[in-house]
Each structure stands twice: as C-alpha cells, then as structure tokens.
Amino acid sequence: MAVYKNIIERDTTDVDQCDFYWFKSGFSNEDIDKINTFANNYEYRDGEVFNGVNDGSVRKTKLKWLPSTEDSSWLYTKMFELANMANNACYKFRLHYALDDMQYTLYEGNSNGKYDWHIDIGSGSNSLRKLSAVLLLTDPSEFTGGELQIFTSSSPRTIPLEKGSIVFFPSFLLHRVTPVTSGERKTLVFWMGGDHFQ
C-alpha cells in the first residue's frame, strides 16, 4: 500500500481562511470625504447579481464603479497595503492583482436595501477573486439595519463595523447585508485576486 506524505512542508501557523480580519480605523473622515468627492464624478446604476437577473429578491442596491485614476491612486495604494497586511496576517493567499474597479454601494432605507446571502466568486474572471473587502463610509447612527454578516463556521457572525472600518475575508465565504430599514448605508467594496485556487 502506498504511503502519501507531504513533499513540501507548509507553514500553517496563524492561517485561518474561515475568519475575517478587520481594521477598526482603517480610513479617516478626511479619507472618506475624498472618496465621496471622487464618487460624485460617476453615476449610480442598479446593483447586479452573478446570473444577470436581479428582480430585487436577492439584492436591492445602487452602485458606482470607481476606476483607478490619478485622483484615486492614493485609494488603490492604501487598499492594496491593507489587503496585503490582512493577507499576510491571516490567509497567505497568492495575491497578484485587482481585476475589478472598486464598487461604491448605496443601500437605501426607503427601499429596504439589502444583499442577501451570496459569495463573491463565480465563473470567468470572478473565479480569480480571493480576498474581499468592505469599507463602511457611513456612521452607523445614520441608518438602521444593514448589518454585514459572514458565515465563518456553523452560524453567521455580525461584523462590528464603524465609519472608516474595513473588513477583509476570503471571497468564498457566504455573507450578506441585512435590510436597511431607515437612512442610507454607503460602502466601498474591493476584491484582490490571483491565480485559481489549486
């Protein structure tokens, strides 16, 4: 009978790919003002889902795609730095690039804005996503509901976000944003990618 052993030793110390990693004060109020000012240059569109059919049962949001430009280069640089810090501390993924622009997302209380249970990876270029990030741009006192919940084990955990907090988690983890019942909740969403999982 063949005996199979590890040919290459791997250091799994401090690796937990079923958890989130967050920075309580990742971005200052001044940073957020700059993000909002940059976002004002772009128009909202209805939020989309992977299968292309969004009847509102899964997702009710508006969003803008914020590209990498000279005016946003500081934002992309800072996001890359935080992503690498989180990755090195917790996940050890091989991250090489960000294929997607950043997603500036609006959840409105007057329409019970939400994004039900989903994952951030899928077919095509979405299969290259490895690390997801959510930056809260709005103070929690300005809206009710809108909790970010992530399945890190057998039950979901609510992430304790504050304005300026940013949370990172593997893109294959099931997560949702519960309905916003009043006010407005704005976030910036970002994905880092690499080669396919193998």
Q: Where are the domains of the chain?
A: 21-41+60-193
Q: Rounded to an integer, what distance in angstroms lies between the CA atom of residue 168 and that of residue 101?
A: 17
Query: What pLDDT, in 10s, does the model give residues 4-40?
Result: 555 556 667 778 888 999 999 999 999 999 999 999 9
Question: What is the torsional sign of CA 139, 78, 75, 147?
Answer: negative
Q: Which CATH architecture has domain 21-41+60-193?
A: Sandwich (2.60)
> Is residue 168 very low, low, confident or very high in pLDDT (cuts 50, 70, 90)?
very high
Q: Rounded to an integer, what distance in angstroms lies between the CA atom of residue 2 and that of residue 13?
A: 29
